[in-house]
Amino acid sequence: MPVANYEIYCQMLNRARERRFAYPAMNVTSLTTANAVLRGLAESKSDGIIQVSTGGGAFASGSMVKDMALGAISIAEHVHRVADRYPIYVALHTDHCQADKLDPFVIPLVEETERRRAAGQANLFNSHMFDGSNLPLKENLDIAVKLLERFQKNQLILEIEAGVVGGEEDGVTGEMSEKLYTTPEDTLEVARRLNALKGARYLLAATFGNVHGVYKPGQVKLKPAVLRDCQQAVVKAHGEPARFYFVFHGGSGSTLTEIHEAVDYGVVKMNIDTDMQYAFTRAIAAHMFKNYDGVLKVDGEVGNKKSYDPRSYLAQAEVAMAERVKQAVSDLRGVGTTLYAA
């Protein structure tokens, strides 16, 4: 099926929260990595989310151009063209975008969607993240409210972050401090400000000890109960309709128990980047080690064209990354949950 429209994306999110599973959201940087995600989701019979970061978009546009919005548009256009060959729905999302990158990244993508809508075409992306976690909460929400007003007019979903995900990913660094844990007071203010826009949809990346990067299980001290406390506070203050749709960032090194607990408390989307990168690169490294004398022209020899043809090892990388996507779907209880032909 094509990329999910607004109604289907909303239905996906509603169903995930009701049935206590979550969608893996994989960062991609190329056509090959996007194809890997589609393959893994299709083989899992699961819908999912493909997302592009500022750095991923810049990379996709080419090392000479480095235009983050152009690269994101290129990937999104590819997914729109090939998605209907897969028996699942996929949503397109942009990842961490701090305030100083809204104008060169998110706003041009929203403008592209507005142009498409005016021409009777589908939205380019389904949702975008504004990461104002490095700002005071009031300033964070002031910007978020203005974005949400524009998004609502264009059937776009906004993702925001309250609290800070520690570590570093794609040039976005989070401080390691008490801000790693979002408070109920923070989320009450989020609900007060954003729920004032009746009917607008948003996702909240509340933090509960999350840290970007590579960690062994047990190294990251997660407290999923933070999400429970935030849900209880907002439902008590504003009623059941205010219950949050949470996003889980910085999940590398999380135990399966922690992941499931977070999903039980309302996580509907879990970002997965580091583990996907490793799966992709590990397959390429294996090919290079196995075919050392074929990929290099050693001692005056000519090598083996079949070994150094990029298609030979990128195809293996696609399959390996697709397998990691399938693991993510399974970890998030999503196998067989696609809305396609439901």
**195-240 per-position pLDDT tens digit:** 999 999 999 999 888 665 444 545 557 889 999 999 999 999 999 9
Q: Is residue 313 predicted with pLDDT exceeding 50?
A: yes
Give the model's pLDDT for residue 2.
78
Tokens 């190294």 belong to which residue?
219
Contacts of 316 (CB under 8 A, 6+ apart): 283, 284, 286, 287
Give the model's pLDDT for residue 301.
86
Q: What is the mean pLDDT of residues 247-273?
A: 91
- For residues 38 and 77, the answer to whether their CB atoms sit within 8 Å is no
The domain defined by 6-331 carries CATH number 3.30.360.10? no
One-letter amino acid of 3: V
Give CA–CA dist 126/151, Å, rounded. Answer: 10
pTM exceeding 0.85: yes
Question: Residue 236's closest CA among 199, 184, 190, 198?
Answer: 184
Catalytic (active-site) positions: 95
| Start-to-end C-alpha separation, the chain | 12
Percent of the chain scoring above 70 in pLDDT: 91
Rg of the chain on CA atoms, in Å = 20
Least confident of 43-52, 167-176, 254-263, 280-289: 167-176
Q: Is the dihedral of CA 25, 29, 32, 33 positive or negative?
A: negative
Q: What is the mean pLDDT of the chain?
A: 92
Give CA–CA dist 11/271, Å, rounded. Answer: 19
Percent of the chain scoring above 90 in pLDDT: 83
Other CB atoms within 10 Å distance of the CB of residue 283: 20
